[in-house]
Amino acid sequence: MKIGFIGLGIMGKPMAKNLLKAGYQLVVHNRSPKPVKELVEAGAESGSSAKEVAEKCDVIVTMLPNSPHVKEVVLGPNGILEGARPGTIIVDMSSIAPLAAKEVAAKAAEKGVEMLDAPVSGGEPKAIEGTLSIMVGGKKEIFEKCHGILSKMGTSVVLCGDIGAGNTTKLANQIIVALNIAAMSEALVLGAKAGVNPETIFKAIRGGLAGSTVLEAKTPMVLSGNFKPGFRIELHIKDLANALDTAHEVGAPLPLTSQVMEILQALKVDGKAGNDHSGIIQFYENLAKIAARK
């Protein structure tokens, strides 16, 4: 089976590499040429456009920043639907608005093209390891056809419901991650301000009820002052914007999410949009006039 992969950013590039390692033939396309060259050197074939990728492949994976980018790549000029044959499957692994996923899937269905929305969680480290959590929306039979492909990029691959359910689940994930980082930040800054070493706090609480995957992944970054992005603040702003829009559409108030969104917006204004989302702690450090470091 030949697989197309469109979008070779922080997440997409290692995900595509894992498909190559698993023995799949890959045709890749990206707006900037550097990652394409890297994938071609690793054994992939280059596609000059999304249309050309679709013409050559049975399954096309997309990993793009947001809803407008997915619509452009799938529905736009030289897009996937211009090259796809009936029976082609699009697996959109971007994190986008659930309504956008439904809209794109409906347009694809008009041409006999199937679609799954399959956003991921785990950040760059798990993308490199091939241990992502993948949340999928779509038809069960299409999910089963693609399960083998998805399992080469993630260790947890769960069908959550119909189209849009994958991205709804991802929004729930992103709310929990953002609130966890904010809570961690408040706690470590409190400790630092009260004269307790933040690293000691981390060691003391990590084995108890406060322990979490977020705590394990993000506290070491904070303690060393390393905010190199695995997942950028500006992308978390995008996800929480989609979460809040979806919440308003369905009538689900999200008061805590709204507060964290404003923290992220403040950091963006402060020039930190490109930081890792563990950089949320910088908002609290600025308020308390202390850094929570080793």
User: Is the predicted pLDDT of residue 93 greater than 90, yes or no?
Assistant: yes
Q: Comparing C-alpha atoms, which of 18, 84, 23, 82 is closest to residue 57? A: 84
Work out the mean pLDDT of the chain and round it to a whole number: 97
User: What residues form DSSP beta bridges with 137?
Assistant: 117, 161
Q: Which of 17, 126, 170, 238 is catalytic?
A: 170
Q: How high is the pLDDT of residue 207?
A: 97
For residue 123, pLDDT beyond 90: no
Q: Let me know if 83 is exposed, middle or buried by CB neighbors in 10 A (0-12, 13-18, 19+).
A: buried
pLDDT the model gives residue 119: 98
Domain boundaries, the chain: 2-162, 168-288
What gap in Å lies between CA 224 and CA 184, rounded to an integer?
Answer: 15
Q: What is the pLDDT averaged over residues 68-82?
A: 98
Q: pLDDT tens digit string along 255-291?
A: 999 999 999 999 999 999 999 999 999 999 999 999 9
* Rounded Cα distance, 142 and 239, in Å: 26
> Regarding the domain delimited by 168-288, which CATH topology (the fold level of the hierarchy) does it fall under?
N-(1-d-carboxylethyl)-l-norvaline Dehydrogenase; domain 2 (1.10.1040)
Active site (annotated) includes residue 126? no
How confident is the model over 14-70, as pLDDT tens digits?
Answer: 999 999 999 999 999 999 999 999 999 999 999 999 999 999 999 999 999 999 999
pLDDT at 230: 83
CA separation for the pair 135, 141 (Å, rounded): 16
What pLDDT band is residue 1 in, cutting at 50, 70 and 90?
Answer: confident
How is residue 48 written in tokens? 């000059």
pLDDT per residue as tens digits for the range 168-214: 999 999 999 999 999 999 999 999 999 999 999 999 999 999 999 99
| CB 178, CB 241: distance < 8 Å | no
Q: Where are the beta strands (DSSP E) in 71-152?
A: 89-92, 114-117, 120-121, 132-137
CATH number of 2-162: 3.40.50.720
